[in-house]
Structure 1
Amino acid sequence: MRREGSALWQGSGKEGKGTLTTQSGTLSKTPYSFTARFGDGQGTNPEELIAAAHAGCFSMALAFQLSGAGHPPQELATTARLTMEQESGGWKIAAIVLVLKAKVPGIAKERFDELAAAAKANCPVSKVLNAAITLDATLEA
């Protein structure tokens, strides 16, 4: 299986501008720029897209884990909070905190935590990232 995303950038790093497009068409020439990435400019940026991808990947992985254990979720609401830090030579993604609020009928907290940890460790986006990835999971009644 292959998936594609593409970027077109024109100009310098700070004053230039670009667009992002995905194979599915969800993003189609979506603008991004220095100000969208490091300020409050209009458009998206690679880091928020990584955060959204991570939240989506983890949520789906957990749904599979829970369903396989006989506890299909009613709702999994995940936010991925990505932190960037400046280092010599540029920037790095230093950490991602997955904040999960889950409605899963009939599951014990210990089993829920075990399955959530497995999903965090094994979702493909977690595996590709070198950042410190933590999970703050809440099982709601």
Structure 2
Amino acid sequence: MASKGKAKWEGDLKGGSGVFTAGEDITGQYSFKSRFEDGPGANPEQLIGAAHAACLSMALSNILAEAGHNPTSVEAEAVVQLRLLDDGPSITKIHLKVVGTVPGLSEEHFRGHAEEAKAGCPVSKALAGVPEITMDATLAG
């Protein structure tokens, strides 16, 4: 299955702006200020973070279920750091935080399954060039 995203940028880097569409109905605006100066709007790193969190939560839910531990919920968050390096902007770190509600599972086993999901989800694999991907995985409650 192929998934589609598109974007259109108008103007120069600092004064211009863009619009993106993910799929058919997820849209947003982005600009230099939203990406590099904490201005209003979205940025590509937020989309990467959302994709990574969504992929991780699905992969972990599947791994847990296959191991006989049906999760009530798995919530994931990804914080993507963009840094200005000598050779230009680069994603230097992603920190994942995952919290699961999984009756009857120990914290240690949950962390192990979370590490497996982090290594195996397709978005993690696509982001293998990011120098540092860390994760905190805990059970709710």
TM range (shorter): over 0.9
- Paired position in structure 1 for 2:134: 134
Rounded to whole Å, the distance in 2 between the matches of 1:24 and 1:98 is 27
CA distance in 1 between counterparts of 2:76 and 2:124 reads 14
Deviations 1:30-62 (A, max 9, x none): 211001111232211000110111111100100
Match of 2:41 among 40, 43, 46: 43
Query: What CA RMSD, in Å, does the superposition of the two structures yield over aligned residues?
Result: 1.2
CA drift at 1:86: 1.3
1:92-107 map, 5 Å? 92-107=90-105
Unmatched 5+ stretches in structure 2:
none
CA-CA distance at 1:134 after TM superposition: 1.1
Return the TM-score normalized by structure 2: 0.93
- Structure 1 counterpart of 2:134, one-letter code: T
C-alpha distance in 2 between matches for 1:114 and 1:24:
36
d(CA) in 1 for partners of 2:96 and 2:4? 25
Structure 1 residue 89: Cα displacement:
2.7
Q: Measure, in 2, the Cα distance between the counterparts of 1:101 and 1:50.
A: 19
What secondary structure, in the 3-state scheme, does the structure 2 residue paired with 1:14 have?
coil
C-alpha separation between the residues in 2 aligned to 1:117 and 1:77? 15
Aligned to 1:12: 12
Secondary structure of the structure 2 residue equivalent to 1:135:
strand
1:41 alignment partner, SS class: coil
Name the % identity: 45
TM-score using structure 1 length: 0.93
Q: Secondary structure at the match of 2:26?
A: coil
Q: C-alpha distance in 1, partners of 2:24/2:117? A: 25
Deviations 1:54-100 (A, max 9, x none): 11110010000001111111121211111121111311101111111
- Consecutive unaligned residues of structure 1, counting only runs of 5 or more, are none
| Distance across 1 between alignment mates of 2:11 and 2:86 | 24
Select the residue among 107, 113, 123 that pairs with 1:115.
Answer: 113
How far apart are the structure 1 equivalents of 2:7 and 2:40?
A: 17
